[in-house]
Structure 1
Amino acid sequence: MNRLLSRLNIDPYLLMLLSTVGIASIVPARGIWAGIAGGVADAAIALLFFLHGAKLSREAILDGARAWKLHLTVACLTFVIFPLLGLGIRAIPGLEPSLATGVLFLTLLPSTVQSSIAFTAIAGGNVAAAVCSASFSNLAGIFVTPVLTALFITGEAQGFSTDPIVSISLQLLLPFVAGHLLRPWIGGFVQRHKTLLGYTDRGSILLVVYTAFGAAVLEGLWQKVTLGELALIAVLSLALLAAIMVIGNLMGRLLGFSHEDRIVILFCGSKKSLATGVPLAGVLFPAAQVGAIILPLMFFHQIQLMVCAVLARRLAAQSEAERSGAEVSE
């Protein structure tokens, strides 16, 4: 089964996400169980950010600061160009309001870490720069995404509020900082047990998705969203990814980056993090709205993985062909 999914470029985790959505749609958490499930999900997310804090080394932060031009370009794509595209998409008439908000919200999120680095490595890009750029993007997203959300979404009707930033700081940033400060004592354990971080990462997202979709289903999510709207989200996700990749490639060439650094811009600048986006949505939006808001993010997440997997292998094949041609000519 894993071989078949790999050949089809389908992430097995997507099937787990879809199964979780199905379970939440049929058996949503109600009453006291909803409160218990929400508390467990919050604890799992805090543990996730604690472990990520312990994983990030001080050296990575210092090394990443030196490649400021590259990181600034990726940040521009992530937190400026992407949101502008999101605002344009939200203005399209006929899109269900909560889903339109979800599309805009996904454009405000930071880049992924693991997949950005992995695809950069496969394509023959600057892996060290990708590690720093993706890490900085995620760290910045803890601050930047709540501010952008308040400016473009939640603040439109009620004015700017610092409450989301305070909630993010207590629920996500504080565990992250605590983990980083404890890195001298627990960093080795975390590095030796990377599987633990992976299970925590994926398990916490599944918990949040279950509680979010369960609350949304109880509020009538599937009566509000049609199959046509879901198909539209898929089309918009493809268009959004294509646009940001074209823009990123043009920026990389115009700014004179090397081929290896342009690969970093391509893969780090075009991603949006499901692992960061789901917890942030749970903090920034009412529970009944989270399910609909993260739905576009789930679509975009899988589409970006499939497209980037194909693109990374194609770039790797091109690089190998160029190296072989150079050796023959010599």
Structure 2
Amino acid sequence: MGRLKQTLSRAGLNSFFLLLIGMILLARLIPEWGTASSPLPLKTITGAGISIIFFFYGVKLSPQKLVKGLSNWKLHLLIQATTFLIFPLLVLVLYAIWGEEGNYLWLGTFYLAALPSTVSSSVVMVSIARGNLPAAIFNASISSMVGIFITPVWMEVLLPDTAVSFDLTDTFIKLSLQVLFPVLIGLLLHKYLISFVNKFQRSLKNFDQAIILLIVFTAFAESFAEDMFMGYSVLELVRLGALMLLFFFVMMALMYWFSKMLHFSRADTIAVVFCGSKKSLVQGAVMGRVMFPDPTVFGIILLPLMIYHALQLLAGSAIAQKLGNQTETKA
């Protein structure tokens, strides 16, 4: 139990997760502090914070490692196809069968499916499970940058049939200015600032989490202020949680099956399984803030991602720990 608790903490399911829940409760109690009429300029603060997050994310990337990682193209192609093609198509099929037009939870579920893979927890879990760590780092990094363009395109496929719409060109411009350009600038300054980033890694992580907490608070505050959750029962939220857990296990099973079909090694299979099944809360919160200009619905759209985020850490960490123990036993 102690090792599992340590694993969960390393993967991100620690005090930050509890603070996320706290932000939702706080938004319920004082929604006016997260709306446009708030006495604090939270929108300006989060906007600047987002750019700073991705600037330092770019600094952490090593150009040499990214170039070196290009050789294992079959593995990379499978992970990226899973993240940006198989996952969204699966949800689209389910939406066509059971989806309800105008239901923002379904829209949030599809948004989750179209997002890039998470970086930190994917890498941590692949490491714990004794998988191909360089491949995990490469794919998680590439996924984050590619997602800036692919996720909005996927959302444009579904959004015309919903009550939410956005300008695709305007979204690309905003995401490029707020996310992509800071990453590229950081990447160019990698060799000059990487020692600074390594020295203040804990402080930068705390800053990242603080900005995400602000995004979550303002998103849910706007939704609570407009009573957007009034039409959803506890049973619907429980069903949503079960669906998110099912998605996670289905994607892991598919990734395992595809890896065996392609005769991947155990280490490569572990990288595929964990990188292909993860979705990024950080980018989901950041990109959603740009893509969904109506803040009253953003909280609802973000809810499936937050549930999936928690479940992927819980289930993924337990599986990674078991795989790691099996590898140690065989060794």
**TM-score, normalised to structure 1's length?**
0.91
Instruction: Choose the corresponding residue for 1:128, options 102, 112, 134.
Output: 134
Q: Which moved more, 1:3-12 or 1:187-196?
A: 3-12
Q: Match for residue 176 of structure 1?
A: 183
Q: Partner of 2:202: helix, strand, or coil? A: helix
Whether 2:152 is the aligned partner of 1:149: answer no
Whether 2:66 is the aligned partner of 1:52: answer no
Alpha-carbon contact 1:111-1:134 (below 8 Å) kept: yes
What are the within-5 Å matches in structure 2 for residues 91-102 of structure 1? 91=96, 92-93=98-99, 97-102=103-108
> Which residue type is aligned with residue 312 of structure 2?
Q
Alpha-carbon contact 2:28-2:220 (below 8 Å) kept: yes
Q: Match for residue 5 of structure 2?
A: 6
Q: Match for residue 320 of structure 1?
A: 328
Q: Partner of 1:198: helix, strand, or coil? A: helix
Q: Match for residue 268 of structure 1?
A: 275
Alpha-carbon contact 1:5-1:12 (below 8 Å) kept: no
User: 1:256 deviation in Å?
Assistant: 1.3
Q: Which moved more, 1:107-116 or 1:8-17?
A: 8-17
User: 1:7 deviation in Å?
Assistant: 7.3
Alpha-carbon contact 1:63-1:132 (below 8 Å) kept: no
Alpha-carbon contact 2:59-2:187 (below 8 Å) kept: yes
Q: Which moved more, 1:16-25 or 1:33-42?
A: 33-42
Q: Give unmatched runs, 5+ long, in structure 2.
A: none
Whether 2:300 is the aligned partner of 1:292: answer yes
What are the within-5 Å matches in structure 2 for residues 241-260 of structure 1? 241-260=248-267
What are the within-5 Å matches in structure 2 for residues 1-330 of structure 1? 6=5, 9=8, 10-28=13-31, 29=33, 30-33=35-38, 36-91=41-96, 92-93=98-99, 97-153=103-159, 161-285=168-292, 286-323=294-331
In 2, Cα distance between equivalents of 1:46 and 1:162: 19
User: 1:5 deviation in Å?
Assistant: 9.3
User: 1:182 deviation in Å?
Assistant: 2.5
User: 1:154 deviation in Å?
Assistant: 5.2
In 1, Cα distance between equivalents of 2:82 and 2:273: 10
> Which residue type is aligned with residue 40 of structure 1?
I
In 2, Cα distance between equivalents of 1:75 and 1:36: 37
Q: 1:5 to 1:14 in 2, by over 3 A?
A: farther
In 2, Cα distance between equivalents of 1:66 and 1:35: 49
> Which residue type is aligned with residue 17 of structure 2?
L
Q: 1:283 to 1:160 in 2, by over 3 A?
A: closer
**TM-score, normalised to structure 2's length?**
0.91
Q: 1:237 to 1:98 in 2, by over 3 A?
A: same
Q: Give unmatched runs, 5+ long, in structure 1.
A: 324-330
Q: Which moved more, 1:154-163 or 1:308-317?
A: 154-163
> Which residue type is aligned with residue 65 of structure 2?
A
Alpha-carbon contact 2:7-2:321 (below 8 Å) kept: no
Q: 1:181 to 1:270 in 2, by over 3 A?
A: same
Q: 1:125 to 1:34 in 2, by over 3 A?
A: farther
Alpha-carbon contact 1:111-1:272 (below 8 Å) kept: yes
In 2, Cα distance between equivalents of 1:164 and 1:16: 29
Q: 1:34 to 1:78 in 2, by over 3 A?
A: farther
Q: 1:142 to 1:202 in 2, by over 3 A?
A: same
In 2, Cα distance between equivalents of 1:208 and 1:31: 13
Q: 1:265 to 1:321 in 2, by over 3 A?
A: same
Alpha-carbon contact 2:53-2:208 (below 8 Å) kept: yes
Alpha-carbon contact 1:151-1:160 (below 8 Å) kept: no
User: 1:31 deviation in Å?
Assistant: 4.3
User: 1:178 deviation in Å?
Assistant: 2.0
Q: 1:230 to 1:7 in 2, by over 3 A?
A: farther
Q: Would you say how many aligned residue pairs link Structure 1 and Structure 2?
A: 322
> Which residue type is aligned with residue 141 of structure 1?
G
User: 1:191 deviation in Å?
Assistant: 2.1
The Cα RMSD (Å) is: 2.3
